[in-house]
Amino acid sequence: MLLIFVSAKLMADLAERIGQPGIVGEILAGVLIGPSVLGWLAPSELLSALSDLGAMFLLFRVGLEVKSSELLKVGGTATLVAFCGVVVPFVMGTGILLAWRAPLNESIFVGASMVATSVGITASVLPAKGLLHEISSKIILAAAVIDDVMGLLVLAVVSSVTHGTVNLLQLSLTALAATAFTVIVAKWGTHAMNHVVPHVERGWRVAESRFVMAMAMLFSLSLLAVYTGVAAIVGAFLAGLALSESTGEREKDLAQGVSELLVPFFLAGIGLHVNLSAFSHASTAILAVVILVAAVISKFIGCGLGALGMGKADALRVGIGMIPRGEVGMVVAQLGLGFGILSQSSYGVVVFMSVATTIVAPPLIKLTFGALAPAGTAAVEEEVFRLE
């Protein structure tokens, strides 16, 4: 644990010094100490549990800073962004693999792995730069949540198609449950919490009762999210959203402590999964680069088109902000590997794409959002953010 935490922070420091976001350093730290370079550490059950918790707290914290009413206001645009951002990468990814003469099932699976954006990565860059209140940030967050629900459906469809059995009823039920859960919590969660939290504060005898309440919400919504089929981190984000109006500074600080501790495990954990030995064949390496470029361009075009109604500058930002695939692509890849549909080399390609999009995006985000925050050093921007 010490090794991960310290190396992630050292690399983050290094990254900041050369003008890159710290997050890139933390992911690269995972690559560095992981199996492919130094081989000091391999992914383990404990590390992945810590990394999941880290992602949950990250999204919870981001949720706390955003008002659900503001997200719902951009709901239409966000849905369009999410939809285009799902279709374009899926078609492009499947097409490339087919052109590469991969089997149809494998091609579809690689396409599916390029669908979902890792909201965690973008979410960890935006607050650090104090940009969470920009309209484009809100679209990105809302679109990433919708995108997660759509990605889930794509994965469900793809899994059943490649297995040869399509159960339409079950697919529609999954879609309904996931959508209902997300919409209900986003729409009425804040209102409900505004009523419940004061009661809890008066009624409970436990110290730090509001924080205890917040943690209970965080865990139960994450669990509920998993049951309805959405990712746990979407549940965590919705929990934060629901509590955003009823939570005080102290609870935010307490949650911030947990997230400061655990987020490096999430970021370095992503890097840990990279295994460069998969690229010993030149053709695999070329495919990896082609897929990476396609993943970047397709999301950028798809989401950018969806957001074009907001004006060119915001469309650019949304397109860039949706690029990182992070842990979501890797989950799909692991599933495909388990089904025996993905070969080891396409698995390596997808993991590489997931990590590389994640490393490429933060500097681009910094660049495109840069004009909005000309305040100079990150420290100053953070101060501004904290004062808001």
Where does this chain bind a second copy (CB under 8 A)?
A: 1-2, 5-6, 9, 12-13, 16-17, 22, 45-46, 49, 128, 204-208, 211-212, 215-216, 219-220, 223, 250, 253-258, 260-261, 378-379, 382
Q: Which is nearer to a second copy, 167 or 253 (CB)?
A: 253
Please, what is the minimum distance in Å from the beta carbon of residue 53 to a second copy?
8
Query: Residue 128: CB partners within 8 Å, gap ≥ 6?
Result: 21, 22, 23, 378, 381, 382
DSSP state of 34: S
CB of 204 to a second copy, least distance (A): 6
Q: 257 near 322, Cβ under 8 Å?
A: no
The half-sphere exposure of 213 on its side-chain side, counting CA atoms within 13 A, is: 25
Q: How far is the CB of 362 from a second copy (least distance, A)?
A: 14
Nearer to a second copy, 20 or 334 (CB): 20
* Of residues 257 and 311, the one with the C-beta less far from a second copy: 257
Q: What is the DSSP string of 128-143?
A: GGT-TTSHHHHHHHHH
Nearer to a second copy, 36 or 256 (CB): 256
The answer to whether the CB of 143 falls within 8 A of the CB of 115 is no
Count H helices and E strands in the chain, helices first: 17, 0
Nearer to a second copy, 56 or 296 (CB): 56
Q: Which is nearer to a second copy, 223 or 286 (CB)?
A: 223
DSSP class per residue in 230-261: S-HHHHHHHHHHHHTTT--HHHHHHHHHHHHH
Q: Is the CB of 128 or the CB of 233 nearer to a second copy? A: 128
Helix (H, G, I), strand (E, B) or coil at 140: helix
Residue 207's region, left for phi above 0, alpha for psi from -120 to 50, else beta, is beta
CB-based burial, 174-208: b 16+ in 10 Å, e otherwise: bbeebbebbeebbeebbeebeeebeebeeeeeeee
Closest separation in Å from C-beta 361 to a second copy: 19
Dihedral of alpha carbons 341, 344, 349, 351, sign: positive
Smallest distance from a second copy to CB 224, Å: 10
Q: What is the token pair recorded at 123?
A: 């979410």
Nearest approach in angstroms of CB 121 to a second copy is: 16
Distance CA 41, CA 6 (A): 14
What minimum distance in Å lies between the beta carbon of 262 and a second copy? 8
CB nearer to a second copy: pick between 1 and 180? 1
Q: How far is the CB of 22 from a second copy (least distance, A)?
A: 6
